Amino acid sequence: MLKLYNTLTKEKEIFEPIDKENNLVRMYSCGLTVYNYAHIGNMRTYIFMDTLRKVLKYNGYKLLHVMNITDVGHLTSDADEGEDKMAKSAREQNKSVYEIAKMYTEAYQKDFKKLNIEDTEILAKATDHIKDMEEYVKKILENGYAYETSKGVYFDTSKLKNYGRMLSNNNLDDLKAGARIEVDNEKRNPHDFALWIKAPKEHIMKWDSFMGLCYPGWHIECSAMSRKYLGDVFDIHTGGVDHIPIHHENEIAQAIGATGKVPAKIWMHVEFLQINGGKMSKSLGNVYTITDLENKGIEPLAYRYFTFSANYRTKLNFTWDAIKSAQVALNRLREATKQHKNGVDEADDTKIQEYLDRFNNAVNDDINMPLAIAVVWDVAREQVKSKKYFDLLMKFDYILSLDLDKEESKEENYPQEIADLLEERKIARQNKDYSKSDEIRDKIYSLGYEVKDTREGQMLKKL
C-alpha cells in the first residue's frame, strides 16, 4: 500500500490513481529554467522525482509524466521581479536566448544521465506551447478571473477566497505574487499577478497574440502544459519547496480560474539542500554542479546515494566530507553486492521475503529512502553469499539506480588531473621509465586513487 505526503492536505494519504481502469498515473514536475547550469540543489529535487517515478512503476503503475523546460525565461526571483534570466545570460555570454536555452538544456540532460534519472514520457518546452498558454489566458479572462490593463492581463486574486493559502497558508500581507514586469498602477489588487504581458519593443522573446506582441507570465506555462497533456485534474504534481508560496499557489489559482478545479490531487515538495549548514549562494561561492563533484573525484551516483541519507521533506546538509563518505559507502556497497553475485549458498526464502517486505514498506511509506537503504545494507552484509541475495539487491536497485553491479571502469569518471597523470604514466611505461611511472602512481594514490596494471591497460580504483 503506497502512501504519499500531500502538501495540500498536510498528511500522508493512501495513493490511488484517478484512472484506476488503466492503472495509469498522470504526473507533472516543474522543470528547470535553462539559463545556467543546474546545481546539486536542483538535482536533489529531480533525483526525488525519478525515485518517485520508479516507486510507482515498481508498484505496477503505468506512467504519463510531463516535465517542462522553461526556455522563455522568467525574472531573477521566484516572485518574477528584476531582469529576465534568459536575456541576462544571453547578454553576458554574447549568445542568443535560443542558443542559451539549447546549451543549458543539453547540459542538464547530460547530468540527468550521469545520475540515472530516466526521461519523462513528455518533455514540454515552453516555447513550443505559447498558443496553449494564450488559449488558457483567454479562458481565464472569459470566466471573469482576470482583467486587462495597458500592460497586459492580470489574474484577479480577489475572486478567490483562499488565494495564497491552499498549500502554504500564506499571510497575504507578506505574499509577493509577482509579475514579469514593473509595478503596474492599473492592478486592482497588490497580489494580482501577470498572465500575459504586452512586450516592449526592446523585449527579445515575444509572440503575436490576441493582444498584439506579447509574452507569457511565468506561472501560466505549467498550468497550460499540464492541462494539455494530463487533463483538468491529474494525480501528482512535484517540485521544490521554493515553489510552494508563489508558483504553485498561482498554478492552483489559474486552474480554478480556467476550469474551476485544483489541478492535482497530490502535491509533493522536496526540501532545500544546505551547504555546510547554510544557504547555497553565488556570493558565498558554494553553488556546486555535478561537474564540480566529478572534478573532486566524486562519482555522480555517489551524490544520488547521498540524497538517500535524508527524507525528501527534510533539509539535507552537504559538506565535502559527507559526500566523500558517500562515495566510500557506495563503493563498499557495490563490493558487498558483488560478493553475492556468484554465491552458491542457499539463502532462506523466508528471510528473502522478510527483506523484500521491509524494503517495500520503506519505499511505500512516502518514499522513505533512509530506511530503504538500511534494508539494502542488511542484505548486502549477509554472511551467506547467495545469488538469491544478489537478485534481491538488483530488484532494489531498480529504484535506487546506483548501478550496484557496476564494473570498475578503466579510465573514466575521474577528474582531469587524474586523467592527465594516467596518460603521463602510460607514456613513461612505454618509454620503460619505471621510476617515473612509480612516482606518478604514488602521486595518483595521494589523490585518492589506486592504479593497477592489467593486460587491458591501466585500471583505476577510487580508494
The tens digit of pLDDT for each residue in 7-62 reads 999 999 999 999 999 999 999 999 999 988 999 999 999 999 999 999 999 999 99
C-alpha cell at 323: 559526500
The CA distance from 148 to 225, in Å, is: 23
Question: Do residues 335 and 292 touch, judged by C-beta distance below 8 A?
Answer: no
Question: Do residues 105 and 72 touch, judged by C-beta distance below 8 A?
Answer: no
Q: What residues in the chain have per-residue pLDDT under 70?
A: 73-83, 170-183, 408-413, 455-456
Question: What are the residues facing 27 on neighbouring strands?
Answer: 65, 236
Check residue 413 and give its pLDDT.
Answer: 62
Closest CA to 238 of 308, 229, 247, 87: 247
What is the widest separation between alpha-carbon atoms in the chain? 82
Closest CA to 424 of 443, 409, 450, 448: 443
Closest CA to 75 of 189, 197, 174, 170: 197
Residue 3: phi and psi, rounded to 5, are -120, 135
Relative to beta strand 316-318, strand 273-275 is parallel
C-alpha cell at 461: 580504483
Check residue 344 and give its pLDDT.
Answer: 86
C-alpha cell at 340: 553475492
The CA distance from 351 to 386, in Å, is: 12
Check residue 47 and give its pLDDT.
Answer: 98
The CA distance from 324 to 449, in Å, is: 13
- CA angle at 37 for the pair 35 and 42, rounded to the nearest 5°: 100
Check residue 97 and give its pLDDT.
Answer: 84
**CA dihedral of residues 321, 399, 7, 250 (deg, nearest 10):** 90
The CA distance from 400 to 376, in Å, is: 10
